[in-house]
């Protein structure tokens, strides 16, 4: 995989590890990072050898400390609206990836960093992780989907408190809020993700992709999630992997999924 200016990428056991690599700026999301994330996700969609993705931040201190505030200095209303829209589009691409995307949050996940983590399918946090939407401290507000995804993940009351106070929460509180699935020591972050992804990689890719779509449909008011689920369930039955899975169960053997 050719290199990106602001990302370090590495394939391991069919998982693409994407490390946001601006540690001296606490991995703040400037426009180049957003461009690179968009481009790398295109590859995730395209290449069958990539079965899953992990997103993390370089260094021990920060996952992503937010959008790059230095790029905000001279934005007009129109510029800022367009910037939010572009960011939302990139995060939408992550959220709707047909392959699982896990955020391994290794420190600060603030502002756009918290929004990026929430765009991933789920979050594993290190014990030192800190989450929050501190945009109000700058006289602005969430803009990369945070008002919607935080509300979906932690409920209206908690989301409202976080976005209007700008207060941060630690990993244990994030776990209690249901924002993260696991809290582990920093050194075990990637291992935890891999232990989950190994299980997912054994499944039929179509089952996984359609399951992701169906869960995402629960949050899309434009479509009826139950109808979407029924359609996706039906689609699975067109695959050889479904035939193999069902036959293997009946024959009391382990299925061998081939991805077709
Ligand atoms: N945008 C741009 N640069 C950022 C940044 C951001 N969101 N967050 C951190 N940085 C930069 C700092 O400017 C500093 O760069 P410098 O060395 O060139 O001055 C570097 O990263 C280290 O940050 P620093 O503030 O010195 O680290 P700290 O440990 O004292 O504080 C934070 C860490 C996360 C509490 C603090 O950096 C912070 O509040 N960041 C902004 C968080 C935020 O408001 N995010 C939402 C933005 S919309």
- Closest CA to ligand 1's atom 16: 25
Residue 115 annotated to the active site: yes
Q: Which domains can be identified in the chain, with CATH numbers?
A: 7-200 (3.90.226.10), 202-250 (1.10.12)
16 φ, ψ (degrees, to nearest 5):
-90, 115
- Closest CA to ligand 1's atom 26: 25
Give me the catalytic one of 49, 71, 115, 188.
115
State the pTM of this model: 0.98
Residues within 6 Å of ligand 1 by CB = 25-26, 28, 65-70, 108, 110-111, 134-135, 138
**164-189 burial, b for 16+ CB within 10 Å, e for fewer?**
eebebbbbeebbebebbebbbeeeeb
CA distance 168 to 148: 18
- Is the predicted pLDDT of residue 112 greater than 90, yes or no? yes
pLDDT in tens, 217-241: 998 888 999 999 999 999 999 999 9
In the chain, pLDDT over 90 holds for what percent of residues?
97
Q: Using pLDDT thresholds of 50, 70 and 90, give the confidence band for residue 3.
A: confident
pLDDT in tens, 123-161: 999 999 999 999 999 999 999 999 999 999 999 999 999
Q: Using pLDDT thresholds of 50, 70 and 90, give the confidence band for residue 1.
A: low
The token pair that represents 112 in the structure block: 């756009």
Distance 57 CA to ligand 1 centre (A): 14
Distance 28 CA to ligand 1 centre (A): 8
What integer best gives the mean pLDDT of the chain? 97
Q: Which residues contact 44 (CB under 8 A, 6 or more apart)?
A: 16, 50, 53, 97, 99, 101
Q: Which residues contact 54 (CB under 8 A, 6 or more apart)?
A: 15, 16, 17, 18, 101, 102, 103, 104, 190, 193, 197
pLDDT given for residue 107 in this prediction: 98
Strands (E), the chain: 7-12, 15-20, 52-57, 62-64, 101-105, 108-110, 122-126, 130-132, 168-170, 182-184
- Is the predicted pLDDT of residue 2 greater than 70, yes or no? no
Pairing of strands 130-132, 108-110: parallel
pLDDT in tens, 18-33: 999 999 999 999 999 9
Distance 51 CA to ligand 1 centre (A): 33
């Amino acid at each position: 995989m050719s290199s990106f200016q602001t990302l370090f990428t590495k394939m391991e056991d069919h998982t693409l590890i994407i490390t946001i690599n601006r540690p001296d700026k606490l991995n703040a999301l400037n426009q180049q990072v957003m461009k690179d994330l968009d481009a790398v996700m295109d590859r995730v969609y395209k290449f069958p050898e990539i079965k899953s993705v992990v997103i993390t931040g370089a260094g021990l201190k920060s996952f992503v400390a937010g959008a790059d505030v230095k790029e905000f200095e001279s934005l007009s209303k129109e510029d800022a609206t367009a910037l939010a829209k572009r960011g939302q589009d990139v995060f939408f691409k992550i959220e709707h990836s047909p392959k699982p995307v896990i955020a391994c949050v290794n420190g600060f996940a603030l502002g756009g960093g918290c929004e990026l983590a929430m765009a991933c399918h789920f979050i594993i946090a290190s014990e030192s992780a800190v989450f929050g939407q501190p945009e109000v401290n700058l006289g602005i507000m969430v803009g990369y989907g945070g008002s919607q995804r935080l509300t979906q993940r932690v409920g209206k009351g908690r989301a409202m408190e976080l976005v209007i106070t700008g207060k941060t929460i630690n990993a244990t509180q994030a776990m209690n809020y249901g924002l993260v699935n696991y809290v582990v020591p920093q050194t075990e972050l990637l291992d935890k993700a891999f232990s989950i992804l190994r299980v997912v990689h054994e499944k039929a890719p179509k089952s996984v992709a359609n399951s992701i779509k169906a869960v995402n449909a629960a949050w899309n008011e434009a479509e009826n999630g139950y109808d979407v689920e029924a359609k996706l369930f039906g689609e699975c039955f067109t695959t050889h992997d479904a035939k193999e899975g069902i036959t293997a169960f009946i024959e009391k053997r382990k299925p061998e999924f081939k991805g077709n």
